[in-house]
A and B are shown apart, each in its own frame.
Chain A
Amino acid sequence: MKLQIASRLAVYALIELAADPERQLSVAEIGDRYGISAHHLAKVMSTLGRANLVRSVRGAGGGYKFCGNARRTTLLDVISMFENISESEPDTVGDRTEAGAAFRQVLDEIDDIARATLGSITIATMLKLIARRRQAGAQSAEAAEQFAAGIGV
């Protein structure tokens, strides 16, 4: 699935901020972490602000804090703020032919699965997934170290 950059940035920013709702991060700090321009991210943050998922903290060292419900905000909720993936593609070449209609049925099947997946994964679930991946990474690094020690590398 091809997503707009803004959707990705929004997901990253929410994950970053929701990991610790007490912590405030500036647009520059989040941007640095993902190698993205503060300018691009600023627009995304104001959309998330309007949706009451983040709030801006004024003053020196100002930035953003997460203020949404991480357990009830799905990836589909976030992505839908930046692009319309809820509808099937508008009329496109060949659609009115038999082959076009059959091909569309196949593509719609794929889109349905993608939407159901994005609609069932919350920001909280993403944070758990990241934690599990980190743990699995640490375990395999440890296993590799033990293996290397065992063979005297």
Chain B
Amino acid sequence: MDHSTKTAEKPDAGRFAIRRARAGDIAAVIALDERVTGIAKPGYWSDVFERYGDRRPEERFFLVAESKAGRETRVVGYIVGEVRAWEFGSAPCGWVFAFSVDPDTRLQGIGERLLDAISKEFQGAGIRTMRTMVPRENSLHMAFFRSEGMMAGPYIQLEKDLD
């Protein structure tokens, strides 16, 4: 992607920083997730932070985007992923399993920077392939990942109602 045009069109991009999540960010992550999905999941996020926040940091990545306005900082997005090895017989790859940007700060390049940041972490861990799973009807997520160059992978997700 041509980052020069990107920055020219998205002047706010410099006001955001990407860093590892800290315990103090979790309340903001829970609130953002609730705003986007309509469901509050405090137990889930505390657990995710416990497992991905600082355990095995060389292959687990919980990153947040932080906006800065003067001294005020605010979490405006997050991405969580990890290296998974030999799952379903696949060679090690990087999985992204949670990802959101604050609806008020979308289309400013934050999603792209979060995805770039986690891609670099995966590369640093020696990983060459990144995967994720997207609901077919979530056209926003689908369009985003496609625009970032992701294509259909060699696996297909299957499911069955257990009644």
Mark A residues whose CB is within 8 Å of B. Answer: 71, 74, 112-113, 116-117, 119-122, 124-125, 128-129, 132
Q: Are B149 and A132 in contact (CB under 8 A)?
A: yes
Which residues of chain A have C-beta atoms less than 8 A from B142's C-beta?
A: 116, 119-120
Q: Are B136 and A113 in contact (CB under 8 A)?
A: yes
- Helix, strand, loop or mixed for chain B's interface? helix
Bound-state CA distance A12–B152 (Å) is: 22
- Flag whether B147 is at the interface (Cβ < 8 A): yes
Give the shortest distance, in Å, between B125 (CB) and chain A (any CB). 23
Q: Are B149 and A117 in contact (CB under 8 A)?
A: no
Q: Are B146 and A121 in contact (CB under 8 A)?
A: yes
Bound-state CA distance A129–B1 (Å) is: 10
Give the shortest distance, in Å, between B19 (CB) and chain A (any CB). 28
Bound-state CA distance A58–B146 (Å) is: 36
Interface residues on chain B, number (Cβ under 8 Å): 11
Query: Which of B136, B146, B147, B152 has most chain A Cβ within 10 Å?
Result: B146
- Flag whether B139 is at the interface (Cβ < 8 A): yes
Bound-state CA distance A122–B116 (Å) is: 20
Which residues of chain A have C-beta atoms less than 8 A from B149's C-beta?
A: 128-129, 132
- In chain B, positions 128-152 with a C-beta closer than 8 Å to chain A are 136-137, 139, 142-143, 145-147, 149, 152
Bound-state CA distance A51–B146 (Å) is: 24
Considering the complex of A and B, which 3 residue pairs feature the smallest CB-CB distances, nearest first?
A120-B142, A116-B136, A125-B147
CB contact under 8 A between A122 and B147, given known A117-B152, A128-B1: yes
Which residues of chain B have C-beta atoms less than 8 A from A117's C-beta?
A: 152
Give the shortest distance, in Å, between A107 (CB) and chain B (any CB). 16
Which residues of chain B have C-beta atoms less than 8 A from A128's C-beta?
A: 1, 147, 149
Q: Please pick, from B1, B143, B145, B152, the residue contacting A74 in the complex, using a CB distance under 8 A.
A: B143
Bound-state CA distance A128–B145 (Å) is: 13
Which residues of chain B have C-beta atoms less than 8 A from A71's C-beta?
A: 147
CB contact under 8 A between A120 and B143, given known A128-B1, A132-B149: yes
Bound-state CA distance A9–B137 (Å) is: 27
Q: Are B136 and A112 in contact (CB under 8 A)?
A: yes
CB contact under 8 A between A116 and B143, given known A128-B1, A128-B149, A132-B149: no
Interface string of B45-56 (1 = CB under 8 A from A): 000000000000
Q: Are A124 and B137 in contact (CB under 8 A)?
A: no
Residue of B nearest to A113 (CB): B136
Bound-state CA distance A124–B146 (Å) is: 10
